[in-house]
Structure 1
Amino acid sequence: MDADQNRACEDQPSAECPRPNAVRKLDPPDSPPRPLGSKRSALFSQKHRQFTSVWRAGLTGSAARPRGQVFTSADGTLAFTVLPTKTGLMVERSHYASSGKRTVQTMAFDSAVEFDRWCDLEPVRFSDPLLHRQLRREGHEALNSAG
């Protein structure tokens, strides 16, 4: 490329003008993701620590809320809030992933049969049996007080 063509490319970039810094490495779609660089990895872990410290503050074991109880798993990644309502029971299930993502599910139960069916299908029954028993006990107490 001569000097005149170079000046023309600077004035009017187009597809015919090569861009030396425009080369980008593309990964095949079926390959595993590349590891994060050291700086990005440090920022990610710092962000994760900030998120987990905020939601774990004061939520070890069980904590009282104005209208209900909060129960957390031993590792702090799962929290259940049990709230009695006028018609039955509301349970909020919050799962905090290690990546910083949070999933919140809210269920309303009108009867003990519905609540027992949900408790039997809840995976925490196997991963944290003590938490499961606390949740079931508190839920039945709330349902009995509402009815």
Structure 2
Amino acid sequence: MGQLPMSYDRKRARADADDYIDMPSTPLYEFGAGRGYTTFRYDRVRLTRDSIGIDGTTRVLVDITNTGRRAGTEVVQLYVTDNQASVSLPYIRLRGVRKVRAEPGERVTVGFGITAGRDLTLVDERLRTVVEPGTFEIKIGSSSARIHLGATLTVT
């Protein structure tokens, strides 16, 4: 109550900023926060192609295992960080969400498609929507503050 508006996708310079004088600079609940009645383990993130062109596509696959004693649902989230952007971008950008239900001990493979022209674009200094060559960190997590695994994608 009364907290300043915060969001998960702060600019890089702001992501490591100090707290406000009377409150933390982080959101009370990060995007995707929530608890279920079981636990999940994230394993084996992989890209079908780890290098694509500016008009290319790839798939991100990750294994999610229900390690608890009850059936449960996990919201798996895909984030992207552009490592060489020519303009200031948010530190992480949400690019996919999948809701997964699993029985105790069950492993589920979750897939996300990444299309450069949709998921890796930015608006450059001339106000054009472009895909810039470079490396992108692909991050998989259960919330924006709980990133479990990652991979590197190169755009040529």
Same fold (TM over 0.5): no
Which is greater in Rg? 1
Q: How does the TM-score come out when normalised to structure 1?
A: 0.22
Instruction: Give the TM-score taking structure 2 as reference length.
Output: 0.21
Structure whose residues are more often strand by fraction: 2
- The structure that is helix-richer by fraction is 1
RCO comparison, higher one (Cα < 8 Å, 6+) = 2
